[in-house]
């Protein structure tokens, strides 16, 4: 991480965008820049001053790149599927399956000038990726998605644009917080994913948790701890309760959803009995974040809690 991004670190933890530094970014990006990875064990990567042909390897990297006004030459995504919240913005972009060591040919053929990946997901591939193009690794979004926006902005030579995106995010979150009103801290919002292999609930240290925190919303006690996600066994279903449940269902998990809805413990939940279970898109809430996902999540909260 370069000095400008490091100076924003403390503010990022409070979801407050740093003010623009005022430096002439056009002069800074007229020559190659060195960007520090989220993983301090990796040496910094020298990237083009202003990338024009990036490739992205995660949903949040694609989201941020599009929001920064850059169209990737290729985007690798799980199942080669673009999440619904950014399909319009990503129309026409070459979409590849998630990259593996055995299948880097399509990425190489795209001839990117920089690659944006995730240390968690593509860390072992870093040497091979870096041979294709300068590669910058974030931590994959999640609770630190705002830091990833900054890192992606640096890697693309658009630091000021990234700061503008985050300042705009702060304003959007504050407006929704004001629309919800004084009840926001007492509105315990539970975030649940029904997957093919089980049921997950999102903790405070997750992308959903960070979005809810930025809006000032409360969480059920079972989901307010410093963890990302937690698997929920059938006898732990009461932990899913809240004043509102935001329920996502992964592709292929409808059978498990049926099992959940037939469970007497589920039927006894306060949110279920009051009709406050709201279906939300799994790609928006559970694919790792990014600025476009955050905006889509905010729209869901506005619809569910304000009714617009």
Give the per-residue pLDDT at 254: 96
Tokens describing residue 139: 């931590």
Give the per-residue pLDDT at 8: 33
How far is residue 52 CA from its own chain's centroid?
23
Each residue's pLDDT tens digit in the chain (308 positions)? 332 333 332 333 233 333 344 445 554 444 555 666 555 455 566 777 789 999 999 999 999 999 999 999 999 999 999 999 999 999 999 999 999 888 899 999 999 999 999 988 999 999 999 999 999 998 867 899 999 999 999 999 999 999 999 999 999 999 999 999 998 999 999 999 999 999 999 999 999 999 999 999 999 999 998 889 999 999 999 999 999 999 999 999 999 999 999 999 999 999 999 999 999 999 999 998 999 999 999 999 999 999 85
Rounded to whole angstroms, the Cα distance separating 168 from 164 reads 6
Q: Which residues touch 178 (CB under 8 Å, ≥6 apart)?
A: none
Planar angle of CA 152, 6, 170, nearest 5 degrees: 65
Tell me, yes or no, if the pTM score tops 0.75.
Answer: yes
Asked if 151 and 163 touch (Cβ cutoff 8 Å), the reply is no
Spell out the SS3 assignment of the chain. CCHHHHHCHHHHHCCCCCCCCCCCHHHHCCCCEEECCCCCCCCCEEECCCCCCEEECCHHHHHHHHHCCCCCCEEEEHHHCCCHHHCCCCCCCCEEECCCCCCCHHHHHCCCCEEEEEHHHHHHHHHHHHHHCCEEEECCCHHHHHHHHHHHHHHCCCHHHHHHHHHHHHHHHHHHHHHHHHHHHHCEEEEEEEECCEEEEECCCCHHHHHHHHHCCECCHHHCCCCCEEEECHHHHHHHCCCEEEEEECCCCHHHHHHHHHCHHHHCCHHHHCCCEEECCHHHHHCCCCHHHHHHHHHHHHHHHHCC
Give the per-residue pLDDT at 21: 44
* Residue range 101-156, pLDDT digits in tens: 888 999 999 999 999 999 889 999 999 999 999 999 988 678 999 999 999 999 99
**Domains of the chain in sequence order:** 3-169 (3.40.50.1980), 188-306 (3.40.50.1980)
Give the per-residue pLDDT at 291: 98
Give the per-residue pLDDT at 260: 97
């Amino acid at each position: 991480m370069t000095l400008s991004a490091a100076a924003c670190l403390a503010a990022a933890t409070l979801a407050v965008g740093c003010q623009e530094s005022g430096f002439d970014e056009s002069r800074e990006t007229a020559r190659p820049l060195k960007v520090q990875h989220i993983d301090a064990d990796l040496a910094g990567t020298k990237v083009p001053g202003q990338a024009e042909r990036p490739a992205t390897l995660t949903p949040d990297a694609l989201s941020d790149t599009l929001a920064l006004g850059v169209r990737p030459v290729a985007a690798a995504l799980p199942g080669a599927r673009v999440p619904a919240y950014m399909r319009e913005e990503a129309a026409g972009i070459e979409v590849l399956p998630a990259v593996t060591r055995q299948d880097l040919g399509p990425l190489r053929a795209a001839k990117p000038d920089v690659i944006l990946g995730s240390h968690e997901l593509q860390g072992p591939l870093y040497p091979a990726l870096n041979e294709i193009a300068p590669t910058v690794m974030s931590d994959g979004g999640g609770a630190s998605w705002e830091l990833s926006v900054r890192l992606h902005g640096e890697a693309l030579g658009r630091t000021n644009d990234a700061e503008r995106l985050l300042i705009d995010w702060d304003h959007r979150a504050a407006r929704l917080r004001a629309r919800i009103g004084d009840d926001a801290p007492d509105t315990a919002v539970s975030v649940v994913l029904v997957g093919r292999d089980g049921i997950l609930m999102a903790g405070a240290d997750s992308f959903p948790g960070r979005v809810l925190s930025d809006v000032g919303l409360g969480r059920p006690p079972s989901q307010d701890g410093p963890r990302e996600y937690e698997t929920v066994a059938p006898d732990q279903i009461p932990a899913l309760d809240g004043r509102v449940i935001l329920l996502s269902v992964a592709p292929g998990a409808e059978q498990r959803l049926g099992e959940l809805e037939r469970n007497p413990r589920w039927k006894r939940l306060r949110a279920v009995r009051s009709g406050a279970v709201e279906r939300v898109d799994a790609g928006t809430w559970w694919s790792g974040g990014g600025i476009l996902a955050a905006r889509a999540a905010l729209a869901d909260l506005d619809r569910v809690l304000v009714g617009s």
